[in-house]
Amino acid sequence: MNISHAFRTSLLGAALVMIAGCGVETVGTAATVGAVKKNEIEQGRVLQEQVQQQLQKSMEQTQQRSDQVEQATR
């Protein structure tokens, strides 16, 4: 079977385009995953701050109640 030079060149070109397309898709996917992870980290930080604030508020309330009990038992 004799495949012409032009056909081989076209086939090689098409293969290179397909391979390059896969690389672009991989890069795009990696960028998307990176953006999602960054968003998850930021949401985690916000949640951590909220939990710390709630914990601080709870500790303050516990201290206030402890002070009230102590004053009531004097």
% of the chain at pLDDT higher than 70? 82
19 located within any domain: no
Q: CA distances (Å), 21 to each of 17, 24, 25, 34, 49, in order?
A: 6, 5, 6, 20, 42
68 located within any domain: yes
54 located within any domain: yes
Task: Dump pLDDT digits (tens) for 1-28.
Answer: 456 777 778 878 877 777 666 666 666 7
22 located within any domain: no
61 located within any domain: yes
1 located within any domain: no
Domain that includes residue 68, residue range? 49-74
Where residue 47 falls among pLDDT bands split at 50, 70, 90? very high
Using DSSP, how many helices (H) and how many strands (E) does the chain show? 1, 0
Where residue 29 falls among pLDDT bands split at 50, 70, 90? confident
9 located within any domain: no
Choose the weakest-confidence range: 4-8, 51-55, 65-69: 4-8
13 located within any domain: no
Total number of domains in the chain: 1
